[in-house]
């Protein structure tokens, strides 16, 4: 089991630890619900050092990546980030990723921990001979500082102003005399930052955030926060056997270029199901793998993620539903073990008051 740079801090603070993506990761500290609300109302720090990071360089790097990921790459500006899928030839999702344009011929790609090695091999096997690819995951630390108080906290730690940093943009900044990367692509729905540093700086930055009022949060709160926002999790909403188009994330899929699997992804005949939000009538939760039925008793889909929503005080879920039955507002039944849970298909996000896209200046006064 791998350990992140912050593992000693998690253990010393009494975090509940469990395996995730090949790493021993914190699931919770004070508790999932408390950490969830602290993120929505103040600020928390998440250890995301387990994520994978690649650097892709060369005059053909943009064209190579355009042929690998579903989002447009060549049109990106320096300082921009884009979310997209790495697909196989059948249109299934090998991973979801975020690509950063660092320069005219240089890119930084962030991938999931559990798929990091396979992703690296896939990219390596589909780039031009002159394009340079390096895996910098082991020497790169990553901390996500999330929540409405995060701009004030990070503003006290960095040398340069962050007030002009927009959503899905990144910038270089300086922390304790060293250059670091700061971006805004958060997974919680709240305004926040992803900070990339070296090992020693990662530990110090974590401690500094806690000293300034942020609380540590684990993967449990990260999951409930992303579910309230309707964000997909690889291995649940996304996998190599399900066509990327069915996820509904059309903004991550370009129809103006050819990429691996694009013919299958862009073929409407392959969209047999659609990802839908599900609000259950009570507090009892649905779980991944639970079947979804029409009120007539006909099986129409499957739940991919489910939890109790702390902010909405009810159970919510996501799941794939056959296209003819996927109309928002339709009443359905979720079979959770021996329980038949009445529910309604709904739009996402479930939580409508998140701050991620708001200007940083609003939170600095």
Q: Work out the average pLDDT over 278-299.
A: 96
Tokens representing residue 151 in the block: 């701009």
Domain with CATH 3.30.70.1400 in the chain: 50-137+241-269
**What was the pLDDT predicted at 60?**
98
Q: Work out the average pLDDT over 14-33.
A: 97
Q: Work out the average pLDDT over 290-305.
A: 98
Which is nearest to 109 in space by CA: 152, 57, 179, 63?
Answer: 57
Considering the segment(s) 50-137+241-269 as one domain, its CATH architecture is 2-Layer Sandwich (3.30)
**What was the pLDDT predicted at 51?**
98
**Per-residue confidence band for 5, with pLDDT thresholds at 50, 70 and 90:** very high
Task: Please provide the average confidence, as pLDDT, over all residues in the chain.
Answer: 97
Task: List the beta bridge partners of residue 17.
Answer: 26
Q: Work out the average pLDDT over 50-68.
A: 98
What is the rounded CA–CA span in Å between residue 177 and residue 174?
A: 6
Q: Work out the average pLDDT over 184-190.
A: 96
The model's pTM: 0.96
Cite the beta strand spans of the chain per DSSP E. 16-20, 23-28, 44-47, 52-57, 81-87, 93-103, 106-111, 132-135, 141-146, 170-175, 178-183, 192-197, 215-217, 273-280, 291-294, 299-309, 314-322, 331-336, 339-346
What is the rounded CA–CA span in Å between residue 259 and residue 248?
A: 18
365 pLDDT exceeds 90? Answer: no
CA angle 268–126–234, rounded 5-degree value: 55
Percent of the chain beyond pLDDT 70?
100
**What was the pLDDT predicted at 22?**
95
**What was the pLDDT predicted at 297?**
96
Domain with CATH 3.30.1360.120 in the chain: 7-49+140-228
Which is nearest to 56 in space by CA: 3, 147, 123?
Answer: 123
Q: Work out the average pLDDT over 209-226.
A: 98
Tokens representing residue 121 in the block: 């091999």
Q: Half-sphere exposure of residue 249, counting CA atoms within 13 Å on the CB side? A: 21
Q: What is the pLDDT of residues 314-359, one digit of tens each?
A: 999 999 999 999 999 999 999 998 999 999 999 999 999 999 999 9
**What was the pLDDT predicted at 77?**
98
Q: Work out the average pLDDT over 175-194.
A: 97
What's the CATH number for 7-49+140-228?
3.30.1360.120
């Amino acid at each position: 089991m791998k350990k992140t740079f912050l593992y000693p801090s998690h253990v010393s603070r009494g975090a509940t630890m469990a395996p995730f993506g090949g790493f021993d990761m914190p699931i919770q500290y004070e508790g999932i619900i408390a950490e969830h609300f602290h993120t929505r109302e103040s600020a928390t720090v998440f250890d995301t050092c387990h994520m994978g990071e690649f650097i892709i360089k060369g005059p053909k790097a943009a064209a190579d990546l355009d042929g690998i990921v579903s989002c447009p790459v060549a049109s990106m500006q320096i300082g921009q980030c884009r979310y997209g899928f790495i697909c196989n030839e059948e249109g299934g999702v090998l991973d979801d990723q975020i690509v950063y344009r660092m320069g005219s011929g240089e890119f930084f790609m962030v991938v999931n921990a559990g798929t990091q090695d396979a992703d690296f091999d896939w990219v390596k096997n589909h780039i031009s001979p002159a394009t340079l690819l390096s895996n910098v995951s082991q020497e790169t630390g990553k901390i996500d500082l999330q929540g409405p108080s995060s701009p004030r906290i990070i503003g006290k730690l960095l040398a340069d102003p962050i007030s002009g940093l927009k959503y899905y943009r990144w910038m270089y900044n300086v922390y304790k005399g060293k250059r670091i990367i700061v971006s805004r692509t958060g997974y919680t729905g709240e305004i926040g930052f992803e900070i990339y540093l070296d090992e020693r700086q990662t530990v110090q930055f974590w401690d500094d955030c806690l000293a300034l009022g942020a609380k540590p949060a684990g993967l449990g709160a990260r999951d409930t926060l992303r579910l309230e926002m309707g964000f997909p999790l690889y291995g649940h909403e996304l996998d190599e056997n399900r066509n990327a188009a069915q996820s509904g994330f059309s903004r991550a899929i370009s129809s103006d270029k050819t990429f691996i699997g694009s013919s299958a992804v862009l073929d409407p005949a392959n969209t047999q199901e659609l990802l839908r939000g599900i609000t259950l009538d009570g507090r009892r939760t649905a779980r991944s793998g639970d079947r979804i039925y029409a009120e007539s008793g006909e099986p129409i889909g499957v739940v991919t993620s489910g939890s109790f929503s702390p902010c909405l005080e009810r159970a919510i879920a996501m799941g794939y539903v056959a296209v003819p039955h996927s109309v928002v507002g339709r009443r359905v039944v979720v079979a959770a073990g021996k329980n038949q849970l009445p529910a309604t298909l709904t739009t996402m996000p479930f939580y409508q008051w998140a701050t991620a896209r708001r200007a940083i200046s609003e939170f600095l006064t």
